[in-house]
Amino acid sequence: MPYSKDKQQAFQAAQQGTEQARDIYENIVKDDPDYGAHLKRLKNEVNEAVQQINNALEVASDSQRDQLQQFQDDLQSIVSEVNND
């Protein structure tokens, strides 16, 4: 049972990290004087979320693994969008 709980906690941390990065990304305004600071915060959140996803992948069930892959894809899209701006 503790193993299952660890899997769930790892998954939830990855999910929360991805959602936080997505929220920051959606609220960044290019013309904002603090754009650079927001971008730095986004970078930190994305890096943290990627680490959380990698940790969760080590113990994930098959269904969690599919969702974690989607989280990775979402984060990669954010990084690509930011790099293209």
pLDDT digits (tens, 9 = 90+) for 37-78: 999 999 999 999 999 999 999 999 999 999 999 999 999 999
Residue 25: CB partners within 8 Å, gap ≥ 6? Answer: 42, 78, 81, 82
Kindly list the distances between the CA atom of residue 2 and the CA atoms of 7, 11, 37, 71, in Å, as whole numbers in the listed order: 9, 14, 39, 24
Structure-block tokens of residue 31: 């013309």
pLDDT of residue 3: 54
pLDDT confidence band for 1 (50 / 70 / 90): very low
- For residue 4, which amino acid is it? S
Q: Please indicate, yes or no, whether the overall pTM of this predicted structure exceeds 0.85.
A: yes
Instruction: Give the pLDDT mean for 2-31.
Output: 90
On the question of pLDDT at 85 being above 90, the answer is no
